[in-house]
Amino acid sequence: MSIIVPNAGNAAAMTRAQEMRGRSLWVDARRRLFENKAAVVSMVLLAIITLMAILAPLLSRYSFDATDWNVVSCAPDWWPDSTVMCNAGGTHWFGTDSVGRDLFVRVLYGARVSLAVGLVTTLVSLLIGVLYGAIAGYIGGLLDDIMMRVVDVLYSLPFIFFVIILMVIFHRSLFLLFVAIGAVEWLTMARIVRGQTLSIKHKEFIEAARAGGVGPLAIILRHVIPNLLGPVIIYVTLTIPDVILAESFLSFLGLGVQEPLTSWGVLISDGANQMEIAPWMLIFPALFMALTLFCFNFIGDGLRDALDPKER
Amino acid sequence: MLSYAARRFLGALPTLFIIITFAFFMMRLAPGGPFDSNRHLPPEIEYNIEAAYNLDKPVYEQYFIYLDNLAHFDLGPSYKTKDFTVGEMIAAGLPVSLRLGLSAMALAIFFGIALGTIAALNKNKGTDYGVMVLAMFGITIPTFVTAPILTLIFGIYGVNFLGMDLSLPVGGWNGGALPNMILPVTVLALPQIAIISRLVRGSTIEALRSNYVRTARAKGLPAYLILWRHVLRSSLLPLVSYLGPAVAGLLTGSLIVEQIFGLPGIGRYFVNAALNRDYTLMMGVIIVYAVFIIGLNLVADLLYAVLDPRVTYKR
Amino acid sequence: MPEPIFEIRNLDVRFATHDGEVHAVRNVSLDIAEGECLGVVGESGSGKSQVFLAAMGLLSSNGRATGSVKYRGRELLGLPQHKLNRVRGSNITMIFQDPLTSLTPHMTIGAQIMEGLRSHRRIPRDVAEARAIEILEVVRIPEARQRMRQYPHELSGGMRQRAMIAMATVSGPDLLIADEPTTALDVTVQAQILDIMRELKSELKTAVVMISHDMGVIAGIADRVQVMREGQIVEAGPVEGIFYRPQHAYTKELIDAMPRLDKADLTETARAEPAPDAPKLLEVSDLKVHFPIKVAPWITRPLRAVDGVSFTLRQGETLGVVGESGCGKSTLARAILQLLPRTDGSVVWLGHDLDTHRREDLRKLRKELQIVFQDPLASLDPRCTVGQSIAEPLHALMPVLPREEVSARVKKMMARVGLDPGWINRYPHEFSGGQNQRVGVARAMIVEPKLVICDEAVSALDVSIQAQIVRLIAELQAQTHMSLIFISHDLAIVRQLAHRVIVLYMGQVVEIADGDTIYFDPRHPYTKALISAVPVPDPRLERAKKRIKLAGDLPSPLATRAPLTFLKSKVIDSATAEQYRPKLIQVSPGHFVAEHDEVVT
């Protein structure tokens, strides 16, 4: 492999052209991310879905928990299969569910819960994981050994089952859901952060900073954290879909969010029960969820390619 | 090597112990006893029942009784299904779950390696993109969506292909007959196929780029020999480390699959136990699961050491 | 000239990259005759390796080669794999630079040697095995039969490269292409490998292509030389012509830039001798740094990285520290800078005994003592601009300085080390290795230290850049009268700068003398071997040179007996016993040599 070394003359010419402005790694990464079509499309789609979820009450005249016994399990007007029992009428764009609630609004309300769980729980795991991993990695030695041993043990637990126990034992609530799933997801974050901290700690530029008289706190703030950010951002984007999946998994089993509140998992569970007579009840929530997970994964992959240190 | 295996085995025991302890005390922390939902019983009868289940004793004593019973492979009576012990129920359900899980695992490993290698060999070509888009589907579309959709297609609508009826039963175990196995095993294996093929693709690309593969090419070896001798072993190492998490993933998936297809496995017992607050049954299932996960992690460690001569057996 | 067996005509190699097409090799033509050795020399990125990778069909997947490559009249370029494989690995073989990554980690040495042989000729396993053992003995691998069953990671670097050579010669090729075969090795091991290659060439009559950046290596082995630069051949001819009558300016530059052991002071700046009454800056006595190494779950053994080193350094003086990998030279630097805790001994700076636990001492020390690291890119934080990196010691050590003053000083310093001050907001990845190393020097110099330690500061750079950086350091020293500790594995570089030289072996000093004495009158057998192993870029001298060889590789630094390699008579035959420590004996004023057995030559 040949490495192209920018020769001095060229570099000097470039300086004059673009006056003293350097290209930081972040700028480079952003450029590469925006060159990745899949990631850009995903970001746009995700933004639209998020906006729709936030603005849900304004987008439809139906409320998410209003039942209408005149339109029970009715297909949307445009449904191609004409053998359905009934059509719901003009403004039920996604049809109605088995108690006559508008599916469009419910899918968006489901998005609210699923996205909120995804974000909050990831933040919880981020907080615990980064603190834990950074401390273990930076201090090292015996403390690191003990802390990582704990993570190893927890890692080999069938953790989703403990989440289920938690949900069974205590009253099911959104808050508990955040905590329980967050308690599972922080482990990987802690491992990644620790590994990264360890490798950064042994880099020559940290030694150079120490030789230059920079104190430990300043080294962490100025050198360790900025270099840690890349992998953490990548992992965060990949954790959110994981969490959304875990929540919908619990909801599907009937252990997650409770009625009348809803999430994609709950909707898919209802839809699966009705799919023979009302397939739209399965298809729309499943489509929205799959699309969202797709977006997060593509963005995560795009970020990985953009920030991958191997490229340098 | 043998002493390395023995050491790893001894190292795994405390983990199992911690899981049991953790699970036990969490159950006992639960507000309300297991019989709360029953209609109100006279106090003396309630007391008798509690005594029969040792619930009148202090918690730590209950803990030791439980441990003692466990040492004799006795998981205790089920709180809800009065006629069976937990041990009996697991003995009935385990063969079903095991068959399901192992078949899915075999399927996932086979197709995962095949697809991943093919994608890596055709890097950045149509085949590669095709495989990777499929893999993305496998990762993002959850089991509880694929299961009903496949059921809809193969079970309810039915599929006729060149005059052959390819319809499959949509549920039931039927003694593990092949047609009953196809859908659940496929659904269970799909996400793992996706993850494994991504993993294998990455490590194969890395191995193909390595200096030692260049050396092998410089020796004039035919392509299949290079792939078989030089590439495959290193490209499969990450897969071996993934075995543990893969088992956890399959177990999680089995909860859903057994539920949807109505299979009498322990995953379904677990979900029902969770919904009914049958604590002893939940404990029993968790312990069985933990044994599997820990066991497979152990196997993965040993396999890794066998495959990679650089791993030292010391430490 | 005899009929060529290998002809390259108008070869072009292009790589498709994200930043557009890279034209790595431009219109290269060359011939290789039977049994001759062609040296191909050039700096990194000159395309010298790509020429031969292309010829062998080994380009990475984004590479395209056009032109013609003929082996005994048969066109190789564009040949389908299975046809190419009849020639590749059998008539033409190749040796690569890094033997650790170039050998398959999960296959035994024996299996890797035999598989090539057996895929080209259908011979039974036992015949192949006998042939493999035979060839391992030819490349002087001891206990060949046992080595066959070992994995690459179980061998030392030198042994691995021998195995690699065995692998490439086992099929009896006509042409052996060696791509920087000794670059990753220590200089004494390099000398052994080059000896083996010379023997192979003369005994087996194999034609050899020696690709190297090192003019000294080329001078010692090549019959003809091709000089490459930016993908093109700039000059070609017989070795003596190239070295004694170079025509092209670039060839002259390469030869001139090459530091030479036999001639000091290549830099135009005369070495400023320290004043005779210059004050003592640094006094290191009996410094020890041991690391605990786990050898079994509950047993740790000390790795004696630095084991009792003493020296003094005066103001304005340059001390060279020389030794091979694992001799403890970098650990020594870090221990003096208090970046690593020392196990024993003392470091006295300007009369103050430095106590690592006293913050006050440490702060003061940092301002006066600085370091330049080996890898210019790794020693700069990729997320900081070069300006921030250079300013960092100022911020940390002189927090009272106003912002404008800091910026002004950084710009001034950048200009002094030959960087455009307008580049202050640029990032390390936008610069070349040489420019980044200038940043490293600027960062060390910004606080106007009294002593700068250069830890292999030029080892990662191309020779022409190396010469520039050495010159820069010498100029800065002349201006500021600072002291230098210049650490390197490369004796020739140390020779350019150092007033006094310390030779380290296994964490201990084996010889101290002033720069000239150590080269013209070395006393210790290790120093002699080290000096004779350095290739001199002068074909006649290099070929006539009497070599003092060391048998085998460097011993493991964990072995307590290791430092007694040259004093076998005092070895106590026990793994745990405290071994005798060779004493330094003064042979003439300022020239100390460690006790050693007399070597019979």
Average pLDDT over residues A276-299: 85
pLDDT band at residue C28 under the 50/70/90 scheme: very high
pLDDT band at residue C440 under the 50/70/90 scheme: very high
pLDDT tens track for C316-358? 899 999 988 878 888 999 999 888 888 888 888 888 887 666 6
- Indicate yes or no: CB of A170 within 8 angstroms of CB of B27: no
- The verdict on A221 touching C (C-beta cutoff 8 Å) is no
Residue C453 has pLDDT above 90, yes or no: yes
Among the listed residues A75, A76, A72, the one whose alpha carbon sits nearest the alpha carbon of residue A84: A75
Average pLDDT over residues C424-443: 89
Residue A19 has pLDDT above 50, yes or no: no
Q: Least CB-CB distance to C430: which of A6, A12, A209?
A: A6
C interface test, pick of B121, B123, B209, B212 with most C CB neighbours within 10 Å: B212
Q: Find the closest chain A residue to C396 by CA distance.
A: A214
Among the listed residues B170, B167, B192, the one whose alpha carbon sits nearest the alpha carbon of residue B103: B192
Share of chain C above pLDDT 70, in %: 93
- The verdict on A158 touching C (C-beta cutoff 8 Å) is no
C contact residues 143-172, partner B, Cβ 8 Å cutoff? 151, 153, 164, 167
The domain B93-263: what is its CATH number? Answer: 1.10.3720.10
pLDDT of residue C267: 47
**Alpha-carbon radius of gyration of chain A:** 25
A127-131, C7-11, C386-390, C562-566: least confidently modelled range: C562-566
Residue C12 has pLDDT above 90, yes or no: yes
Q: Least CB-CB distance to B217: which of C58, C82, C101?
A: C58
Share of chain C above pLDDT 90, in %: 30
- The verdict on A223 touching C (C-beta cutoff 8 Å) is yes
pTM: 0.82
pLDDT of residue A21: 66
Asked if the ipTM is above 0.90, the reply is: no
Residue C112 has pLDDT above 90, yes or no: yes
pLDDT of residue B1: 66
pLDDT tens track for C220-253? 899 999 999 989 999 999 999 999 999 999 999 8
C329 CA: distance to closest CA in chain B (Å): 28
Secondary structure in 3-state letters for C171-213 = CCCCEEEEECCCCCCCHHHHHHHHHHHHHHHHHHCCEEEEEEC
Domain boundaries of chain C, sorted by first residue: 4-257, 280-350+450-594
pLDDT of residue A1: 34
A interface test, pick of C23, C379, C410 with most A CB neighbours within 10 Å: C379
CA B121 to chain centre: 30
Both tokens assigned to C207 = 């034609």
B311-315, C135-139, C284-288, C458-462: least confidently modelled range: B311-315
Considering the domain C280-350+450-594, what is its CATH architecture?
3-Layer(aba) Sandwich (3.40)
pLDDT of residue B176: 67
Superfamily of domain C4-257: P-loop containing nucleotide triphosphate hydrolases (3.40.50.300)
pLDDT of residue A9: 41
CA angle, B22 then B28 then B30, to 5°: 110
CA distance C46 to C230: 4
- The 8-class DSSP code of residue C2 comes to P
Q: Find the closest chain B residue to C164 by CA distance.
A: B215
pLDDT of residue C577: 67
pLDDT of residue A261: 78
State the residue range of the domain holding A297.
Answer: 47-311
A67-71, A215-219, C587-591: least confidently modelled range: A67-71
pLDDT of residue A7: 41
Both tokens assigned to A32 = 């590469």
B contact residues 218-277, partner A, Cβ 8 Å cutoff? 244, 248, 251-252, 255-256, 259-260, 270-271, 274-275, 277
Give the residue numbers in B contacting C (CB under 8 Å), as ranges: 123, 209-223, 225, 229-230, 233-234, 307-310, 314-315
- The verdict on C297 touching B (C-beta cutoff 8 Å) is yes
Domain boundaries of chain B, sorted by first residue: 93-263
B278: chain A residues, CB-CB within 8 Å: none
C428 CA: distance to closest CA in chain A (Å): 9
pLDDT tens track for C44-84? 888 899 999 999 999 888 889 999 999 998 999 988 888 89
Q: List residues bridging with C88 in a β-sheet.
A: C92
List, in sequence order, every beta strand (DSSP E) within C428-477: 451-455
Q: Any residues with CB less than 8 A from the CB of C276 and at least 6 apart, and which?
A: none
> Is residue B248 a contact partner of residue B79, using CB atoms and an 8 Å limit?
no
pLDDT tens track for C116-129? 888 888 888 999 99
- Indicate yes or no: CB of A19 within 8 angstroms of CB of C60: no
Q: Least CB-CB distance to A255: which of B141, B142, B274?
A: B274
A218: chain C residues, CB-CB within 8 Å: 396
CATH number at residue A266: 1.10.3720.10
Q: Least CB-CB distance to A158: which of B30, B147, B248?
A: B248
pLDDT band at residue C575 under the 50/70/90 scheme: low
Q: Any residues with CB less than 8 A from the CB of C213 and at least 6 apart, and which?
A: C41, C42, C43, C44, C180, C183, C462, C463
B222: chain C residues, CB-CB within 8 Å: 81-82, 85, 119
The count of other CB atoms within 10 Å of the CB of residue C58 is: 20
In a domain, A19, yes or no: no
Q: Least CB-CB distance to A160: which of B29, B252, B285?
A: B252
B interface test, pick of A46, A81, A154, A164 with most B CB neighbours within 10 Å: A164
Q: Find the closest chain A residue to B289 by CA distance.
A: A158
Domain count, chain A: 1
pLDDT tens track for A141-196? 788 888 887 887 777 666 677 777 777 777 667 777 777 788 778 888 888 888 88
A249: chain B residues, CB-CB within 8 Å: 142, 144, 252, 256
3-state secondary structure of A202: coil
CA A206 to chain centre: 32
pLDDT tens track for C246-263? 999 999 988 888 877 766
CA distance C19 to C160: 37
- The verdict on C94 touching B (C-beta cutoff 8 Å) is yes
Those chains having 3 or more beta-carbon pairs within 8 angstroms of chain C are: A, B
CA distance A100 to A74: 8
- The verdict on C549 touching B (C-beta cutoff 8 Å) is no
Residue A2 has pLDDT above 70, yes or no: no
Average pLDDT over residues A229-243: 85
C362: chain A residues, CB-CB within 8 Å: 213
- Choose the most confident range, by mean pLDDT, from A78-82, A168-172, A256-260, A306-310: A256-260
Q: Which helix (H) or strand (E) holds C412?
A: helix C403-416
Residue C504 has pLDDT above 60, yes or no: yes
Mean pLDDT by 10 residues, chain B (315 residues): 76 79 76 55 68 70 80 72 77 87 92 93 86 87 85 73 66 71 89 91 89 91 90 87 83 85 85 79 83 83 82 51
- The verdict on C82 touching B (C-beta cutoff 8 Å) is yes
pLDDT of residue A74: 73
pLDDT of residue C297: 63
Residue labelled with tokens 């002893």: B280
Q: Is C283 exposed, middle or buried (0-12, 13-18, 19+ CB in 10 A)?
A: middle
C392 CA: distance to closest CA in chain A (Å): 7
Q: How many CB pairs under 8 A join A and B?
A: 106
In a domain, A237, yes or no: yes
- The verdict on B98 touching A (C-beta cutoff 8 Å) is no
Average pLDDT over residues C381-392: 90
Distances (CA, A) of A88 to A56, A57, A76, A287, B137: 20, 20, 6, 20, 31
The count of other CB atoms within 10 Å of the CB of residue C201 is: 19
> Is residue C103 a contact partner of residue B309, using CB atoms and an 8 Å limit?
no
Residue A8 has pLDDT above 60, yes or no: no
CA distance A221 to A215: 10
Distances (CA, A) of A21 to A17, A27, C426: 10, 11, 6
